[in-house]
Amino acid sequence: MRILVISAAYPPMHAGEATNAYHLCKHLADRGLEVHVLTSTANRNNDDPRIHVHAVMNEWSWSEMFRMRSFFRRCAPDAVYLMYIGLMYKCHPMITFAPTILKKLFPHVPFVTRYESAFVGADPSRTSLPARLFRRAMVQWAGGSDVAYGSGTLLRDSNHVIALCERHRAMLIEEWPLVNEKVLLIPPPPNLRIAPNQDGMARSQGRTKLGLTGTDFVIVFFGYLYRTKGVEFLLRAFQVVREKRKGVKLVFVGGKVGLDVEESGDYFERMQSLARELQIDKDVTWTGAVNSDTEEGSLYLHSADVAVLPFLQGVQLNNSSLASIAAHSLPIIASRGPLLDKAFVDGANILLCEPKDHRAIAQYIVQLIDDPRLLARMRIGATKLAQEWFSWDTAIERTLASFKV
């Protein structure tokens, strides 16, 4: 079976969407499928010869629509899997007509769209007047009805639509109610190679690499850093914790994101400056981006005692960093969003607080430092969360099932 994965984000781009696309392709190849990737010209690196990377797209604009169409014809896939968020395609609407373009060539080939986020779709208003006029013509060509402004024909003409969390699924159904019949919930599994931790060896190796001692209590943040991650509130929480307890360290595993996320440009540097301003910088380590195809990131996670995700929009199943953290059985402190996924049970597999509440974060950290039984219970809860919701085997089985029409 020949699978075509379309993703403008792919290594060496630094983005969670890029690393998850790569690991998805690796797991599909592990099942014996022939995997092809259509991606941007900058994404030429490929460390797995089983994955055929076609880095031929530049702007993903109307001028490249016929290039994409010709590629569909040459590749002749048995199924197409589009990873979509507007930011990956510079918010241009061309890619939102991809399922219709494919169906004109291969009517019976299944097309599956995975929404990395339901918040950021295409924005035709940001394109030129000729581009907007061309889109109007495309709407008529595509049938005129049920063509969404931000999603084009993705919801109408995809055979299945994959949402990564309950909130995204609800938003997609609100945008086009009929998608309820074909939307699937498949959270993203871990984005890294997990190191075995037999007899605590990985934990010890990770601490050695980070310059930490065996007695340090280590707090970790895992993932790319940009404004909505709420890192400043973790830094302020750490300042409070350090005033109350000794031997506490904070490690940030991750660097700048490669997508054009709001205020992402200098956020990493501003957070480092804030750490110095709060006079906690000597106890804070910044690893920068890690290679997801090595065990480096996993060693750092094994070295930690607790993970904190202070996201401004709240924690959700779509947060790929969460899957990696849970896979390492780390107690999780996170902010609560407006719609909580049923997977999360406060006090059992996660400790929740309100966004921007750095004092609540600090209080939870101190509780975990002081109460070994609570720490152990939250480790067990995280392990169960990973097993039930973030299994690659389950995700691949459900993904393959979505190709059956």
Backbone angles phi, psi at 368, to 5 degrees: -70, -35
Residue 20: CB atoms within 10 Å: 24
pLDDT surpasses 70 at 261: no
Cα–Cα dist 99/248, whole Å:
51
Question: How would you classify the pairing of strands 79-84 and 160-163?
Answer: unpaired
How high is the pLDDT of residue 260? 65
pLDDT surpasses 80 at 117: yes
For 154, the 3-state DSSP assignment is helix
Specify whether 58 is located in the same domain as 181.
yes
pLDDT surpasses 70 at 358: yes
pLDDT surpasses 80 at 405: no
Specify whether 12 is located in the same domain as 120.
yes
Cα–Cα dist 95/68, whole Å:
9
Smallest CA-to-CA distance from 314 within 254, 386, 229, 188 is with: 229
Q: Is the Cα torsion angle 257, 272, 208, 249 positive or negative in sign?
A: negative
pLDDT surpasses 90 at 293: no
Q: What is the mean pLDDT of residues 318-325?
A: 94
pLDDT surpasses 80 at 264: no
Specify whether 100 is located in the same domain as 234.
no
Average pLDDT of the chain, as a whole number: 94
pLDDT surpasses 80 at 21: yes
Specify whether 157 is located in the same domain as 228.
no
Q: What is the mean pLDDT of residues 225-239?
A: 96
Instruction: Give the C-alpha distances (Å, rounded to integers) separating 40 from 8, 18, 44, 192, 284.
Output: 5, 11, 8, 22, 35
The DSSP letter of residue 193 is P
4 in Cβ contact with 29 (< 8 Å)? no
> Which residue in the block uniquely carries the two structure tokens 């109007």?
136
Smallest CA-to-CA distance from 252 within 204, 229, 368, 349 is with: 229
pLDDT surpasses 60 at 262: no
- Tokens encoding 303: 């070295």
Specify whether 206 is located in the same domain as 353.
yes
- Tokens encoding 197: 């931790």
Specify whether 161 is located in the same domain as 207.
no
How high is the pLDDT of residue 265? 66
Specify whether 212 is located in the same domain as 168.
no
Amino acid in the structure at residue 346: D
Number of domains in the chain: 2
Instruction: Give the C-alpha distances (Å, rounded to integers) separating 356 from 60, 75, 230, 236, 292.
Output: 37, 48, 7, 10, 29
- Tokens encoding 327: 């896979």
For 81, the 3-state DSSP assignment is strand
Cα–Cα dist 353/330, whole Å:
17
Q: What is the mean pLDDT of residues 163-184?
A: 94
Task: Return the axis-axis angle of helices 231-244 and 358-370, rounded to nearest 10°.
Answer: 50
Backbone angles phi, psi at 56, to 5 degrees: -120, -5
State the pTM of this model: 0.91
Amino acid in the structure at residue 203: R
Specify whether 33 is located in the same domain as 179.
yes
Specify whether 181 is located in the same domain as 308.
no
- Tokens encoding 236: 């302020």
What is the domain-level CATH number for residue 313? 3.40.50.2000
How high is the pLDDT of residue 263? 55
How high is the pLDDT of residue 48? 87
| Max CA pair span of the chain | 66
Backbone angles phi, psi at 83, to 5 degrees: -95, 120
Q: Regarding predicted confidence, which is higher, 261 or 132? A: 132
pLDDT digits (tens, 9 = 90+) for 187-228: 999 989 999 999 999 999 999 999 999 999 999 999 999 899
91 in Cβ contact with 151 (< 8 Å)? no
Range of the domain at 321: 198-389
51 in Cβ contact with 67 (< 8 Å)? no
Specify whether 236 is located in the same domain as 104.
no
Specify whether 151 is located in the same domain as 123.
yes
Task: Return the axis-axis angle of helices 392-402 and 16-30, rounded to nearest 10°.
Answer: 80
Specify whether 168 is located in the same domain as 34.
yes
- Tokens encoding 66: 């016929």
pLDDT surpasses 90 at 144: no
How high is the pLDDT of residue 256? 84
